[in-house]
Structure 1
Amino acid sequence: MASTTPAGLKIRPRHMSFDFPNPLPRHWHSGDAFKSHLFDSMSVLFPDGERFFIDSVRKFRDQITDPELTEQIRGFIGQEGHHSREHLVYSDRLRALGYDITRMENRAKKRIHYTQNNFSAKRQLAATAAMEHITAIMADGLLRNESQMQGAHPMMRQLWRWHALEETEHKAVAFDVYNQVGGDRKILHRAMRMGTFFFIKDTFLGLAHMLKQDGLLWNWRVWRDGLTWMWGKEGVFRPLIKTYKDFFKDDFHPWQHNNIELLYATRREFDENTEPAVA
């Protein structure tokens, strides 16, 4: 079978339309600049990144003969398209606060343009599969650990949980397409190393820019508390190290990290009628 997504799990975009506060509270996450701007800087990368993901998967859609995976590709494209739309509004709110969002966007656009013009379609798909793993494990951490969004503005909390839910639903689609078209694991692993480097770099540069605009770039307490929140003993990202490294195993596929029960529990926040997946 081409698809590794659990049988019965339907991937459908939710037509959300978030009422973003205007103006957006500058430190919307529990009054904490570091937490807020870490999420903000990741968000700025999403619209262009998700359009790249859609394009890379769409190039191989006609080569997929499994009707279930074909349907999942349709759902993947729909979900990523809606994510891009909502995060563009988010970016506009940040731009209105005086942050140089255009510069951050252009950095991502330039790299994507280079990738699309210099790498094969299969390598672009490998990059998508790799980045989808990163978003999937981060989504799992956000949904699993309620304290990660504790104190956040209610609408922003809902936005991020919605995004995390749908990233979890479609986490295997690009990976399965890559396998179906004969993707090489060595290329996949190289794409993960490169993607991780640039994701961390771009997120850090965005975070630093926003803290600088707030006059907090050189505030050591902000960095101490923020890095402890991320990587300390109880850090939100620390548990993700093992699941991240699993990607480099030769027999890995995303649903080896089976969080279907968490997914359905979260679905109840957004869907009125949710039926459990067939085992």
Structure 2
Amino acid sequence: MPSPTPPDLQIKPRQPAFTLAQPWSRHWHGGNAFKSHFFDAMSLLFPDGERFFIDSVRHYRDQVTDPQLQKQIGGFIGQEAHHSREHDRYSLALRQCGYDLDYLERRLKRRLAFVRKHLPPKVHLASTVAVEHFTAIMADAILKNPQWLAGADPDMAKLWRWHALEESEHKAVAFDLYQQVYGSPWLRRRAMLHSTLYFTLDTFKGLVHMLKRDGLLWNWRIWRDGLGWLWGSRGILRPLVRAYLDFYKADFHPWQHDNLQLILDYRREFDISAEAR
């Protein structure tokens, strides 16, 4: 059965110019510590994670005979490399504010090292497929719902929109590759369960650490409002549950969540600005 990925989908790396404010604003998301550190905690996972994704896809690249998928893999690798670089810069700004990123990154680095050493490449790719689904549904929500970043520093909001756009563009590349070289629904479901656990724990750990360094860890209003923003009746994560669960269906494909028009709309922001430079 052919992949539902749009056959003429172009995936190209972009290198927009981002200016991180100096001095860095700890609470860049409208002065809200919880919102800012929720995004910060996710960001610090990306540099090592995306290098792992690149390696997991590159391992199987020579088995791909479809020229369109080959081109999309090249775009995926280029985009993820740029994401890793920009989030490294983001992490440097967090370090300069006194957050202990060595402490926060240690568990992720050890876990990735264990996976690389002891688990087969098909598990690496299945894990990539799982986390790419996480990032795809969150990216889609960021693009569909500008209120996610309402009030944020304009450059930080632009960085997250850029990342969301490219995650949406390449959301099926690792999946299509996985289907070609292995395809087991059981393995990708297991990978998603593990990825959900670790993504949640790592993000929560980062959020707690940064709030503690800010002296806000035990401020109950911060947690009341923050958890309401995430999971309340209008919480940003609640609408994502159904899209997340779709991943466990045997016949799931990322492009069943068709947001191609949204991608085309947001491309104008970055592609036109790139041509103007």
One-letter code aligned to 2:17: S
Using the TM superposition, give the Cα deviation of residue 92 of structure 1 relative to its aligned residue in structure 2, in angstroms.
Answer: 0.3
Q: Summarize deviations over 1:80-136 as a string: whole Å, max 9, x none.
A: 000000000000000000000121122211111011111110011000000000000
C-alpha root-mean-square deviation of aligned residues, in Å? Answer: 1.3
**Within-5 A mapping of 1:242-257:** 242-257=242-257
Paired residue secondary structure (1:251): coil
- The answer as to whether partners of 1:3 and 1:173 remain within 8 angstroms in 2 is no
Alignment of 1:260 with 2:260, yes or no, is yes
Q: Summarize deviations over 1:122-177 as a string: whole Å, max 9, x none.
A: 01100000000000000001110111100000000000000000000000000000
Paired residue secondary structure (2:112): helix
Q: 2:158 and 2:34 mapped to 1: Cα distance?
A: 19
Q: Which residue is equivalent to 1:129?
A: 129
Using the TM superposition, give the Cα deviation of residue 183 of structure 1 relative to its aligned residue in structure 2, in angstroms.
Answer: 2.5
Q: Summarize deviations over 1:29-72 as a string: whole Å, max 9, x none.
A: 01000000000010000000000000000000000110000100
Q: Which residue is equivalent to 1:144?
A: 144
Q: Which residue is equivalent to 1:158?
A: 158
Using the TM superposition, give the Cα deviation of residue 17 of structure 1 relative to its aligned residue in structure 2, in angstroms.
Answer: 3.0
Q: 1:57 and 1:13 mapped to 2: Cα distance?
A: 16
Q: Give aligned-pair identity as a percent.
A: 59
Runs ≥4 residues deviating over 6 A: none
Q: Which residue is equivalent to 2:56?
A: 56
Q: Which residue is equivalent to 2:227?
A: 227
Listed as ranges, the gaps of 5+ residues in structure 1 are 275-279
Q: 1:225 and 1:255 mapped to 2: Cα distance?
A: 34
Q: 1:118 and 1:2 mapped to 2: Cα distance?
A: 33
Q: 1:182 and 1:206 mapped to 2: Cα distance?
A: 34
Q: Closer, same or farther in 2 for the Cα pair 1:273/1:159, shift >3 Å?
A: closer
Q: Which residue is equivalent to 2:100?
A: 100
**Residue range with higher mean Cα deviation, 136-145 or 7-16:** 7-16
Using the TM superposition, give the Cα deviation of residue 273 of structure 1 relative to its aligned residue in structure 2, in angstroms.
Answer: 9.4
One-letter code aligned to 1:241: V
TM-score normalised to the size of structure 1?
A: 0.96
- The answer as to whether partners of 2:122 and 2:182 remain within 8 angstroms in 1 is no
Q: 2:111 and 2:18 mapped to 1: Cα distance?
A: 29
TM-score normalised to the size of structure 2?
A: 0.97
**Within-5 A mapping of 1:33-52:** 33-52=33-52
**Residue range with higher mean Cα deviation, 1-10 or 197-206:** 1-10
- The answer as to whether partners of 1:3 and 1:68 remain within 8 angstroms in 2 is no
One-letter code aligned to 1:54: I
**Within-5 A mapping of 1:186-205:** 186-205=186-205
**Within-5 A mapping of 1:105-124:** 105-124=105-124
Q: Summarize deviations over 1:202-228 as a string: whole Å, max 9, x none.
A: 000000000000011011100010000
Alignment of 1:216 with 2:208, yes or no, is no
- The answer as to whether partners of 2:16 and 2:270 remain within 8 angstroms in 1 is no
Using the TM superposition, give the Cα deviation of residue 184 of structure 1 relative to its aligned residue in structure 2, in angstroms.
Answer: 1.0
Paired residue secondary structure (1:24): coil
Q: 1:117 and 1:93 mapped to 2: Cα distance?
A: 31
Q: 1:190 and 1:271 mapped to 2: Cα distance?
A: 38
Q: 1:50 and 1:233 mapped to 2: Cα distance?
A: 32
Listed as ranges, the gaps of 5+ residues in structure 2 are none
Using the TM superposition, give the Cα deviation of residue 23 of structure 1 relative to its aligned residue in structure 2, in angstroms.
Answer: 1.9
Using the TM superposition, give the Cα deviation of residue 247 of structure 1 relative to its aligned residue in structure 2, in angstroms.
Answer: 0.2
Using the TM superposition, give the Cα deviation of residue 182 of structure 1 relative to its aligned residue in structure 2, in angstroms.
Answer: 2.1
